[in-house]
Chain A
Amino acid sequence: MLRLEKRPNPSKFWLYATPIVAVILTMIAGGIMFALLGKNPFAVIQTIFWDPLFGKFAYYLRGQLLVKAGPLVLIAVGLSLGFRAGIWNIGAEGQYIMGAVFGAAVGLAAFPTESRWIFPAMIVAGAFGGWLWAMIPAILKTRLNTNEILVSLMLVYVAQTILAMAATGFLRNPEGMGFPGSRNFSSFPAAANGELFVGTGLHWGVVTAIATVIFAYVLLQRHLMGFQIKLAGQAPRAARFHGVSPNRLVVMCMGISGALAGLAGLFEVTGPAGQITIDFNVGYGFTAIIVAFLGRLNPLGIMLAGLLMALTYIGGEMASTNLGLPAAAIQAFQGMLLFFLLGVDVLTNYRIRFMMMGGR
């Protein structure tokens, strides 16, 4: 008989081993699923995990991994700060949209002026848009004690409506023959977020994501605020005795995560996406929640988790196109990864005891 026994301290070994074990288990279970679908499981798993990194078109796909991972990591790092302190910003998707709308609006207002100050101004506006959208749940929580999970989530739908208004109305391309969608930033160099080095996929959003990882790491390890965040999450009462103001922490954490999500939106709209469209957002804000937990709420872990997530997207896409797998099978595969991660995660805090029946 199996029994779970709580460990006195979380296991250091399992903390790091969990993700690896989860990936291996996913490969096995996923392989069985692919086999049941009549595909060669080894070929599928090779296509998902190996080909984007070392296959024939890796020179193109490696860059695309960064493009896909960039916004995920940027948003997830911001969210992880709040999550550590027990502040649940679920609405990063909305903040991402508002960052894109604010930033794009500033850029398009300046069209067709060419000035080196346009892009920096857009970055500030993008961060501001995300921050502003996150301040609504933050202020409502600190003043009226509303639930930030609900408010931030509901504001995603408000943001989507504003996005639709922007694409069909106030940001619509005046030369677009009445079709929805803004001007494409790729034809507006002063506001475009192009590749920094040819063929690498590296754009300012990816650079910012890496910088944010380092910044968050230092913040958590060395700065008083990092200590307060960790303390508030682990022992809220102790934190209060220690002089941590819960309201201040809510405003700070929501603000940082909102601003980072806004930046992610801005870099996406000016770079890979290119324009404001009605369905500009593709769920990065929600996927980032998964990435934050997959990365153990640790900045470096989040970077790896973001890359892994990007790999399953891009590799999964290749498997779907080249091997004729249904898109749903790839989604199931990604779901398995989370399932196993959370399942194996139990081993960090618990150990398994084998007991003889009728023993004791």
Chain B
Amino acid sequence: MLRRTLLTTAALGLGLALSGTGAMAAGMDHVKACFVYVGPIGDGGWTFQHHQGALAVQEKFGDKVELQWQESVPEGADAERVLTQMALGGCNVIFTTSFGYMDATNAVAAKFPDVKFEHATGFKRDSANVSTYNARFYEGRAVEGLIAGRMTKSNKIGYIGSFPIPEVVMGINSYYLNAKKVNPNVELSVVWAFTWFDPAKEADAAKALIDQGVDVIASHTDSTAPLAEAAKTEGKVIGFGQASDMSEYKDGPRVTSIIDNWGPYYVERVGALLDGTYEQKDTWAGIAGGEVLIGEISASVPAEVKAEAEKLRDDIAAGTVHPFTGPINKQDGSAWLAEGATAPDGDLLGMNFYVEGITGDIPQ
């Protein structure tokens, strides 16, 4: 407790000395926006897209914004130190861009009340200066599922899971449900990689799926390794760009992609700091808000499937279709959603069960 007070005092003194602009609500002339990345910027996926968002902030506000970032920060004790260094170093807002930074973000935020913290994909907002933001990736998964169900020849589709957290489980369920809707014979295999970014492990996971006869692979990890693996099958196996468009595989296995588009959110939040309208909040936007984009559907997808997928995308954006619409049972056969009911956000955010029809267990 004593440590906390001491650091807070130090931070307060420092914050005042550095910002010098008085109350936040009055707006700021200059914002130092800092980003903590879980992987290297060159991962071509998750971290790359966050960095694109950061660059969009710079482009929008120019000299008024100073960017700072740190790549490949492990989740855990190291994250707490990096965050403290950033806060001490005069960052006004710090974006922590991975679920695993949750406790570290909240711990450091408590010591630096004058610094704003924005945690991606988390749910803890312990102090007033912590906001959370996420995107409804499951909406994109629904479009992928539809294409998978239509395109598979072996009726076996696969999913490379990163960690068994609700975010991923909801993606798996959405993918499966929407594949099943267009192809009742479809079977789903899930392989857990237990990593966000490890091209070797991701490639192994893709190989394992291909060996099982899977011919459509979706992945929840950050690199292009699964697509590279699919490319070796000479067109037998297709996949999706994950987090970024991965358009370098456009003429190969990549049929479409889910693109994380963080730029608008980052611009909005930094803009709010500049003009003094910043408030704590929890944001969860999807295709409609432009945070989730569906990449161009490639020519290897038949025109009618492409049209069907684009219609689903537009219906989700318009709010007329929800990827989780009842009747849906849980894997054990118990009822989850009644006929016509759509999933409440709370259920999705804590999702730790497979829907009926998926075999295998979520690692427990």
Q: Interface with A: B21-29, B65-73, B237-245, which one?
A: B65-73
Identify the closest chain B residue to A167 (Cβ). Answer: B163
**Which parts of A183-202 form the interface with B (CB within 8 Å)?**
184, 186, 194-195, 198-199
Whole-angstrom distance between the alpha carbons of A27 and B214 in the complex? 51
- For A158-191 the 0/1 string (1 means CB < 8 A from B) is 0010001100110010000111110010100000
A177 and B123 within 8 A (CB): yes
For B82, the chain A residues whose CB sits under 8 A away are 317, 321
For B34, the chain A residues whose CB sits under 8 A away are 321
B282 CB, nearest partner CB in chain A, Å = 14
Q: Interface with B: A215-223, A270-278, A292-300, A345-353, which one?
A: A270-278
Interface residue? B113 (CB, 8 A): no
The residue from A57, A164, A180, A314 contacting B88, defined by CB atoms under 8 A apart: A57
**Which parts of B141-156 form the interface with A (CB within 8 Å)?**
none
For A181, the chain B residues whose CB sits under 8 A away are 103
A177 and B350 within 8 A (CB): yes
B81 and A64 within 8 A (CB): yes
For A272, the chain B residues whose CB sits under 8 A away are 76-77, 80
A282 and B165 within 8 A (CB): no
Q: Given A168-B363, A169-B364, A178-B351, A67–B70 Cβ distance below 8 Å? A: no
The residue from A160, A169, A184, A320 contacting B70, defined by CB atoms under 8 A apart: A320
Interface residue? A326 (CB, 8 A): yes
A257 CB, nearest partner CB in chain B, Å = 22
A165 CB, nearest partner CB in chain B, Å = 7
A321 and B76 within 8 A (CB): no
The residue from A198, A199, A278, A318 contacting B85, defined by CB atoms under 8 A apart: A318
Interface residue? B100 (CB, 8 A): yes
The residue from B71, B80, B194 contacting A320, defined by CB atoms under 8 A apart: B71
B100 CB, nearest partner CB in chain A, Å = 7
For B71, the chain A residues whose CB sits under 8 A away are 320, 326-327
- For B287-300 the 0/1 string (1 means CB < 8 A from A) is 00000000000000
B70 and A317 within 8 A (CB): yes
B165 and A180 within 8 A (CB): yes
B76 and A179 within 8 A (CB): no
Interface residue? A60 (CB, 8 A): yes
A164 and B81 within 8 A (CB): no
Interface residue? A280 (CB, 8 A): yes
Interface residue? B40 (CB, 8 A): yes
For B78, the chain A residues whose CB sits under 8 A away are 282
Q: Given A321-B82, A327-B71, A178–B352 Cβ distance below 8 Å? A: yes
**Which parts of A316-336 form the interface with B (CB within 8 Å)?**
317-318, 320-322, 324, 326-328
**Which parts of B345-364 form the interface with A (CB within 8 Å)?**
349-352, 362-364
B76 and A280 within 8 A (CB): yes
Interface residue? A148 (CB, 8 A): no
Whole-angstrom distance between the alpha carbons of A282 and B77 in the complex? 9
Interface residue? B7 (CB, 8 A): yes
A322 and B68 within 8 A (CB): yes
A180 and B163 within 8 A (CB): yes
Interface residue? A268 (CB, 8 A): yes
For B85, the chain A residues whose CB sits under 8 A away are 57, 60-61, 317-318, 321
A198 and B3 within 8 A (CB): yes
The residue from B2, B75, B100 contacting A198, defined by CB atoms under 8 A apart: B2
- For A41-68 the 0/1 string (1 means CB < 8 A from B) is 0000000000000000101110010010
Q: Given A57-B89, A322-B68, A327–B40 Cβ distance below 8 Å? A: yes
For A67, the chain B residues whose CB sits under 8 A away are 77, 81
Interface residue? B109 (CB, 8 A): no
A322 and B89 within 8 A (CB): yes
The residue from A169, A198, A268 contacting B77, defined by CB atoms under 8 A apart: A268
Identify the closest chain B residue to A274 (Cβ). Answer: B103
B363 and A327 within 8 A (CB): no
- For A211-238 the 0/1 string (1 means CB < 8 A from B) is 0000000000000000000000000000
Whole-angstrom distance between the alpha carbons of A328 and B72 in the complex? 9
For B165, the chain A residues whose CB sits under 8 A away are 179-180
Whole-angstrom distance between the alpha carbons of A57 and B112 in the complex? 15
A186 and B166 within 8 A (CB): no
Identify the closest chain A residue to B72 (Cβ). Answer: A327
- For A251-290 the 0/1 string (1 means CB < 8 A from B) is 0000000000000000010001111011110100000000
Whole-angstrom distance between the alpha carbons of A317 and B103 in the complex? 20
For A177, the chain B residues whose CB sits under 8 A away are 123, 166, 349-350
Whole-angstrom distance between the alpha carbons of A147 and B249 in the complex? 44
A279 and B100 within 8 A (CB): yes
Candidate in A168, A184, A272 with the most chain B CB atoms within 10 angstroms: A168
B363 and A165 within 8 A (CB): yes
Interface residue? B84 (CB, 8 A): yes
B194 and A164 within 8 A (CB): yes
The residue from B103, B123, B350, B364 contacting A275, defined by CB atoms under 8 A apart: B103
A198 and B163 within 8 A (CB): no
Whole-angstrom distance between the alpha carbons of A60 and B11 in the complex? 11
Whole-angstrom distance between the alpha carbons of A199 and B352 in the complex? 39
- For B42-69 the 0/1 string (1 means CB < 8 A from A) is 0000000000000000000000000011
Whole-angstrom distance between the alpha carbons of A64 and B164 in the complex? 31
**Which parts of B191-248 form the interface with A (CB within 8 Å)?**
194-195
For B164, the chain A residues whose CB sits under 8 A away are 168, 180
Identify the closest chain B residue to A195 (Cβ). Answer: B3
Whole-angstrom distance between the alpha carbons of A328 and B103 in the complex? 26
- For B4-34 the 0/1 string (1 means CB < 8 A from A) is 0011001000000000000000000000001
Interface residue? B107 (CB, 8 A): yes
For A59, the chain B residues whose CB sits under 8 A away are 10
Given contacts A168-B362, A178-B352, A279-B100, 12 further A-B contacts (CB under 8 A): A57-B88, A60-B7, A67-B81, A164-B363, A168-B164, A178-B351, A180-B165, A199-B7, A274-B77, A277-B100, A321-B70, A321-B85
Q: What 5 pairs between A and B have smallest CB-CB spacing?
A: A272-B77, A178-B352, A169-B364, A327-B71, A327-B72
18 A–B contacts from the bound complex (CB under 8 Å)? A61-B85, A67-B81, A160-B194, A164-B194, A178-B352, A179-B165, A179-B166, A272-B77, A274-B107, A277-B76, A279-B194, A282-B74, A317-B82, A322-B68, A322-B89, A324-B68, A326-B40, A327-B72
List residues of chain A with CB under 8 Å of any chain B CB.
57, 59-61, 64, 67, 160, 164-165, 168-169, 172, 177-181, 184, 186, 194-195, 198-199, 268, 272-275, 277-280, 282, 314, 317-318, 320-322, 324, 326-328
